[in-house]
Amino acid sequence: MRTITLIIIHCSATKAGQCYTFEQCRRDHLRRGWKDIGYHFYITRDGSVHEGRALSEVGAHCKDHNAHSIGICYEGGLDMAGHVCDTRTKAQRRSMRRLLETLHERFPGAIIMGHRDLSPDLDGNGRIEPEEWMKQCPSFDVLMDYWDLEPAGLLGDVG
Ligand SMILES: [Zn+2]
């Protein structure tokens, strides 16, 4: 098994009411010349967790961070008008939490982050702020939702 230091969450940037299935995503990634879908897991609106690449294989989902990470994508991320929006359904939230709990147990040292949290720290203050985000993916605050599944000590001494 590879060393896993990061679990990176993505959205498919699909508008509310539109469908972008696991098969469509895989097909689009194969068209780019990749050997398989870039993610390790893909969670559709119905809450189904589709397995993409094997965990032992390097994914293709976050430039410069693929070697030691796991990529998870959910179907959605935009409202009807195409604006950034946390469109996760109840079923998707449930599945994502369950999946992250399992991965956290297996890789307790891995930091769970949103794709946008890996943007460059332009002003070098040690924090990736909204104006520094290269893109909005995955349209929600990952640290806020899954703080309880982060490695011990990551968020400081909160008693
Ligand atoms: Zn992304």
pLDDT digits (tens, 9 = 90+) for 88-124: 999 999 999 999 999 999 999 999 999 999 988 888 8
**Does the residue 103 lie in any domain?**
yes
**Does the residue 157 lie in any domain?**
no
CA–centroid distance, 126 to ligand 1, in Å, is 21
CATH number for the domain that contains residue 102: 3.40.80.10
Q: Which long-range contacts (CB under 8 A, 24 or more apart) does 22-26 make?
A: 22/48, 22/50, 22/52, 25/73, 26/52
**Does the residue 156 lie in any domain?**
no
CB 11 within 8 A of CB 77: yes
CA–centroid distance, 29 to ligand 1, in Å, is 13
Catalytic residue among 20, 25, 39, 104: 39
The domain in which residue 45 lies consists of 6-147
φ, ψ for residue 30 (rounded to 5)?
-65, -35
**Does the residue 158 lie in any domain?**
no
Residue 135 bears catalytic tag = yes
**Does the residue 1 lie in any domain?**
no
pTM of the model: 0.93
DSSP 132: G
In the chain, how many domains are there? 1
**Does the residue 105 lie in any domain?**
yes
CB 50 within 8 A of CB 42: yes
CB 10 within 8 A of CB 113: no
Mean pLDDT computed over every residue of the chain: 93
